[in-house]
């Protein structure tokens, strides 16, 4: 039903083509992948938004919208993601699949041409980016950076990773920081753009009814338009096998909040998405805090009512497990102890059959439905490309089916607490 | 059972009607891991006065929504928990005209479908559980009272319609739901949750025969068929009021402009008018229309601007709105653009690409099982075959849409509803 082809088109230019007739739409995307670095993070994050404003051929929103309407209602969105310590800067679009359009519509080719224009032929002013576009999108970026504090739950998790990985590239936020965003000029962004175009690894993505050969043909103009040059190979970067010396560290920050956010960061003993033990780690995470039948949900929330929410998630390419919870200040110490004691229970093997199996059902179902969603599929394959992996989600699901209790416990035993971050009210 | 191919959108639909009057639609989606089931009744917020067993019943506002909340209660517990424990993600909604219950799951589909059919068809209410729910829904209503988007929408409906129950909040009021008893719920369930007034739509890689067999096994053998309803005195084409202005705690004025279109009876014309209504919106004020660009550049609308066509029994509305520093100026601009289109017509290029975009966007919605099933169910209740929309689009000409603009977008048919910041003057 679903054929995945991956191919190096040129050194540093890679294609993932997923052929399927499941969907009414096709997804086309182009992503530049570079190592995360603090200095350039904001400029990197700004770039796709400025590119999305206009091309030499379609210099404004109105002409771009008209072009997308012509493609039977297409969309193109800028997207900035972190995969491990790689930053992925992309333009991704969704279009009516040619299989469902009138024969001469040629939507796939038109979509690829538009992506080519957006990436390689931006609207210009004096040989550089249009200053009004840079100024407008810079303002939007700074608003987005500032707005991160609005969602306290996400904010606490972001602050936890920044503190925990302060000495690693991973500690840099995908959007960078306000000060470096403010310092961007049309010239500095133009230089960054030129540098990225000639040195970043490039991922082209397609999902739809066309064959890999047709897809290569479709992308031909884009591929040949990407400048020649020595491209840096991308990777997920550094993974620590143990929490560093001097941990666990405790960081507390006051903010005007009614409810405390307690976030706890763990190292997974070096287990990441590429490891043999990864399915066991995934299952452990589900049993521990990844689902509404998990130990954290059932005990910390339901039984002891210590938290409004309490759950765990994996950063699969960085070897981290992050627990986030919302608690009353007076309960935060007890909540922390309970979160740790549930981990210790897992490490002692105190996981019953029902817990293990409902965790397994949740992980398997999530992996199997991945192929029902074009957006999730695209994100999965981008991660695989960055990590140099080729395993399909269905294969991973099969491995999860085989994981034993003993393997789950072994994975749990590798988990070490690194940093505790507490966001608390001003008064407490 | 019949099987129908829709070649242009590549869908295969199975249909059957059981002896009890229940219609079942199954959209075969090979290769998908997930399956989805939607069980709906032709009963919504506006169905307050109806005839059952020869007698007319008047019920308070908010019963359909109240029933939806209480249906998950079973004699032995709660169906939400049973479905969740079985790996399904269940939920429900009540709209103006229908109430629907649904889940999706990747495993144990048949077991989950049985649970769905069973909890929706077997009522279990007690005076205590009704009293408890009055408190919960009362809170939900108060939240809506503070929500400017909800308030501006109902202000517009109240301005457009004088008699139709569409002007009454689906959730009712704290006072109206206080009148609901367990007997009210049992009566309404008996009337509207009879299989003859319901539809079951399923999407996924499932066996249609099995779906029908399970429905036969779980549901009652007899149905009552359709229930006559009364939606009040006939409405004229004129708006009841041309302006409704209220003040609330908002930072920017929020507005909704509505126009009364002619309601269409049950049948294929309903779908045609739906598609035409949407094209009217796109051509007149859609995000790629000349008017929108003008409004946006003048700062009269922002990203929050949206628009659409909606139809219910006896009701058809075009509406547009969002945040604006001057909603009255937006109205004036729309009327001016209408006059221009009436004079000059819709530009040929714009028309061609709007139609392409509208068609493509509708095909895209077929990626979503939920959207497919909800549209099939609504289409069934409206007497239309939803998946024929490509052919219906073929039959819509530029002149048809221009004709609609000429007829509908007039000052007599308009109501402007505005929620403005407290203490601001106009």
At residue B94, the pLDDT reads 98
Given pLDDT bands bounded at 50, 70 and 90, which one contains residue B349? very high
Calculate how close chain A gets to B178, using CA atoms only, in Å: 31
Helix, strand, coil shares of chain A, percent, nearest 5, are 45, 25, 30
Which of the residues of B are catalytic? 68
- Measure the CA–CA gap between A425 and A326, rounded to whole angstroms: 12
3-state secondary structure of A56: coil
Chain-chain contact of B357 with A25 (C-beta, under 8 angstroms): no
Alpha carbon separation from A389 to A16, A81, A281 (Å, rounded): 12, 18, 17
Give me the mean pLDDT over the B61-69 stretch: 97
At residue A261, the pLDDT reads 94
Tell me if chain B has a CB within 8 Å of the CB of A421.
no
B6 contacts in A (CB within 8 Å)? none
At residue A406, the pLDDT reads 98
Tell me if chain B has a CB within 8 Å of the CB of A65.
yes
Given pLDDT bands bounded at 50, 70 and 90, which one contains residue B426? low
- List the one residue out of A380, A34, A389, A390 whose CA is nearest residue A201: A34
DSSP letters along B339-404, please?
Answer: HHHHHH---HHHHHHHHHHHHHHHHHGGG-HHHHHHHHHHHHHHT--GGGHHHHHHT--HHHHHHH
A66, A96, A372 member nearest B288 (Cβ): A66
A72 contacts in B (CB within 8 Å)? 356-357, 359-361, 363
B105 contacts in A (CB within 8 Å)? 365
pLDDT reading at B274 higher than 60: yes
Q: How many CB pairs under 8 A join A and B?
A: 82
B287 contacts in A (CB within 8 Å)? 65
At residue A119, the pLDDT reads 98
B107 contacts in A (CB within 8 Å)? 361, 365
Q: What is the mean pLDDT of chain A?
A: 95
Given pLDDT bands bounded at 50, 70 and 90, which one contains residue A300? confident
Given pLDDT bands bounded at 50, 70 and 90, which one contains residue A136? very high
- Measure the CA–CA gap between A74 and A68, rounded to whole angstroms: 5
How large is the ipTM? 0.86
Q: Which residue has the tokens 């249906």?
A: B71
Calculate how close chain B gets to A252, using CA atoms only, in Å: 34
Structure tokens at A227: 């400048």
Chain-chain contact of A73 with B107 (C-beta, under 8 angstroms): no
Q: What is the mean pLDDT of chain B?
A: 95
CB B264 within 8 A of CB B316: yes
For B244-283, b/e burial (b = at least 16 CB within 10 A) is: bbeeeebebbbbbbbbbbebbeeeeebbbbbbbbbbbbbb
pLDDT reading at B425 higher than 70: no
Tell me if chain A has a CB within 8 Å of the CB of B353.
yes
Tell me the pLDDT tens digit for each residue of B199-232: 999 999 999 999 999 999 999 999 988 899 999 9
Which residues, including other chains, have CB under 8 Å from residue B277's CB and lie 6 or more apart? B261, B308, B309, B311, B316, B318, B404
Give me the mean pLDDT over the A53-65 stretch: 93
- Measure the CA–CA gap between A62 and B297, rounded to whole angstroms: 11
Q: Which of A65, A66, A69 is the best residue to mutate to test the B interface, defined by the most B CB atoms within 10 Å of its own CB?
A: A69
Tell me the pLDDT tens digit for each residue of A151-173: 899 999 999 999 999 999 999 99
Given pLDDT bands bounded at 50, 70 and 90, which one contains residue A67? very high
Structure tokens at B86: 């079985």
B356 contacts in A (CB within 8 Å)? 69-73
Number of residues written out for chain A: 428
Q: Which of A70, A72, A369 is the best residue to mutate to test the B interface, defined by the most B CB atoms within 10 Å of its own CB?
A: A72
Chain-chain contact of A368 with B106 (C-beta, under 8 angstroms): yes
At residue B287, the pLDDT reads 86
Chain-chain contact of A22 with B361 (C-beta, under 8 angstroms): no
Chain-chain contact of B107 with A71 (C-beta, under 8 angstroms): no
pLDDT reading at B104 higher than 90: yes
Helical segments of A288-415, H only: 295, 332-347, 353-369, 374-387, 393-402, 405-414
**A190 HSE (CA, 13 A, CB side):** 15
Calculate ∠ Cα B312-B133-B62, nearest 5°.
20
Tell me if chain A has a CB within 8 Å of the CB of B303.
no
CB B242 within 8 A of CB B415: yes
Given pLDDT bands bounded at 50, 70 and 90, which one contains residue A426? confident
A95, A99, A369 member nearest B33 (Cβ): A369
Give me the mean pLDDT over the A71-86 stretch: 97
Tell me if chain A has a CB within 8 Å of the CB of B304.
no
Query: Residue A213: in which H helix or E strand, if any?
Result: helix A212-218
Give the residue, A298 or A84, on which the prediction is more confident. A84
Q: Which residue of B has its CA nearest to A359?
A: B87
Tell me the pLDDT tens digit for each residue of A303-327: 888 888 899 999 999 999 999 999 9
- Measure the CA–CA gap between A229 and A209, rounded to whole angstroms: 32
Backbone angles phi, psi at A164, to 5 degrees: -65, -40
Chain-chain contact of B356 with A72 (C-beta, under 8 angstroms): yes
Chain-chain contact of B363 with A100 (C-beta, under 8 angstroms): yes
Calculate how close chain B gets to A1, using CA atoms only, in Å: 6
Tell me if chain B has a CB within 8 Å of the CB of A100.
yes
- List the one residue out of A234, A232, A245, A238 whose CA is nearest residue A171: A238
């Amino acid at each position: 039903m679903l054929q995945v082809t991956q191919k190096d088109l040129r050194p540093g230019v890679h294609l993932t083509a997923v052929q399927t007739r499941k969907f009414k739409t096709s997804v086309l995307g182009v992503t530049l992948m570079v190592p995360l670095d603090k200095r350039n993070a904001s400029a990197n994050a700004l770039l796709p938004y400025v590119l999305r404003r206009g091309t030499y051929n379609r210099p404004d929103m109105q002409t771009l919208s008209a072009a997308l309407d012509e493609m039977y209602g297409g969309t193109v969105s800028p997207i900035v993601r972190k995969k491990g310590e790689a930053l992925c800067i992309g333009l991704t679009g969704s279009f009516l699949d040619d299989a469902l359009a009138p024969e001469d519509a040629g939507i796939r080719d038109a979509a690829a041409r538009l992506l080519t224009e957006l990436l390689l032929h931006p609207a210009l002013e004096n040989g550089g980016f249009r200053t009004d576009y840079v100024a407008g999108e810079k303002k939007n970026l700074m608003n987005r950076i500032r707005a991160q504090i609005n969602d306290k739950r996400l904010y606490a998790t972001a602050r936890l990773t920044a503190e925990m990985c302060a000495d690693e590239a991973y500690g840099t936020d995908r959007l960078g920081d306000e000060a470096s965003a403010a310092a961007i000029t049309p010239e500095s962004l133009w230089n960054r753009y030129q540098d990225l175009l000639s040195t970043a690894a490039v991922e082209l993505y397609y999902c739809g009814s066309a064959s890999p050969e047709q897809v290569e043909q479709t992308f031909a103009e884009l591929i040949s338009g990407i400048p020649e040059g020595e491209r840096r190979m991308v990777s997920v970067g550094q993974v620590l096998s143990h929490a560093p010396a001097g941990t666990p560290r405790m960081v507390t920050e006051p903010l005007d909040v009614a409810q405390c956010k307690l976030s706890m960061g763990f190292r997974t003993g070096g287990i990441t998405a590429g490891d043999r033990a990864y399915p066991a780690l995934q299952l452990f995470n589900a049993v521990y805090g990844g689902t509404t039948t998990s130990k954290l949900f059932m005990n910390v929330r339901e039984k002891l009512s210590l938290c409004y929410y309490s759950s765990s998630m994996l950063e699969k390419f960085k070897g981290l497990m992050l627990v986030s919870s919302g608690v009353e200040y007076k309960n935060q110490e007890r909540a922390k102890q309970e979160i740790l004691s549930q981990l210790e229970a897992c490490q002692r093997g105190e996981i019953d059959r029902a817990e293990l199996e409902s965790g397994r059902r949740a992980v398997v179902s999530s992996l199997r439905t991945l192929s029902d969603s074009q957006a999730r599929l695209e994100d999965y394959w981008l991660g695989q490309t960055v990590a140099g992996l080729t395993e399909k989600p269905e294969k991973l699901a099969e491995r999860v089916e085989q994981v034993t209790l003993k393997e789950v416990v072994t994975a749990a035993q590798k988990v070490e607490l690194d940093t505790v971050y507490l966001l608390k009210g001003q008064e407490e | 059972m019949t099987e129908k191919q829709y070649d242009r959108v590549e869908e295969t639909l199975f249909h059957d009607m059981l002896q009890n009057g229940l219609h079942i639609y199954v959209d075969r989606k090979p290769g998908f891991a997930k399956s989805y089931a939607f069980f709906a009744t032709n009963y919504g917020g506006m169905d307050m006065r109806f005839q059952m067993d020869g007698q007319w019943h008047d019920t308070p506002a908010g019963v359909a929504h109240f029933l939806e909340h209480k249906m998950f209660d079973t004699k032995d517990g709660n169906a939400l928990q049973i479905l969740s424990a079985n790996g399904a993600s269940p939920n429900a909604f009540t709209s103006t005209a229908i109430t629907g219950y649904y889940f999706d799951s990747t495993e144990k589909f048949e077991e989950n479908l049985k649970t769905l059919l069973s909890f929706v068809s077997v009522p279990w209410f007690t005076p205590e559980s009704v009293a408890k729910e009055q408190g919960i829904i009362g809170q939900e209503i108060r939240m809506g009272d503070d929500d400017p988007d909800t308030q501006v929408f109902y202000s517009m409906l109240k301005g457009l319609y004088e008699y139709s129950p569409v002007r009454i909040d689906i959730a009712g009021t704290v006072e109206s739901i206080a009148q609901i008893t367990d007997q009210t719920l049992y009566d309404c369930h008996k009337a509207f949750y009879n299989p003859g007034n319901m539809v079951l739509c399923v999407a996924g890689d499932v066996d249609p025969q099995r779906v029908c067999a399970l429905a036969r096994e779980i549901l009652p053998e007899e149905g009552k068929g359709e229930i006559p309803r009364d939606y009040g005195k006939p409405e004229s084409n004129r708006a009841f009021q041309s302006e409704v202005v209220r003040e609330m705690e908002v930072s920017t004025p929020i507005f909704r402009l509505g126009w009364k279109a002619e309601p269409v009876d049950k049948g294929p014309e309903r779908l045609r008018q739906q598609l035409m209504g949407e094209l009217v919106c796109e051509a007149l004020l859609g995000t790629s229309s000349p008017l929108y660009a003008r409004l946006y550049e003048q700062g009269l609308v922002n990203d929050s601007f949206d628009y659409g066509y909606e139809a219910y029994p006896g009701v058809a509305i075009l509406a547009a709105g969002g945040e604006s520093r001057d909603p009255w100026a937006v109205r004036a601009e729309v009327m001016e653009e209408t006059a221009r289109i009436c004079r000059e017509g819709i530009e040929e290029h714009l028309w061609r690409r709007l139609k392409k975009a509208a068609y493509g966007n509708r095909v895209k919605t077929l990626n979503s099982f939920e959207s497919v099933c909800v549209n099939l169910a609504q289409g069934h209740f409206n007497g239309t075959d939803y998946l024929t929309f490509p052919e219906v689009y073929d039959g819509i000409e530029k002149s048809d849409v221009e004709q609609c603009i000429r007829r509908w977008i007039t000052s007599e048919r308009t109501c402007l509803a505005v929620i403005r910041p407290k203490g601001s003057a106009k």
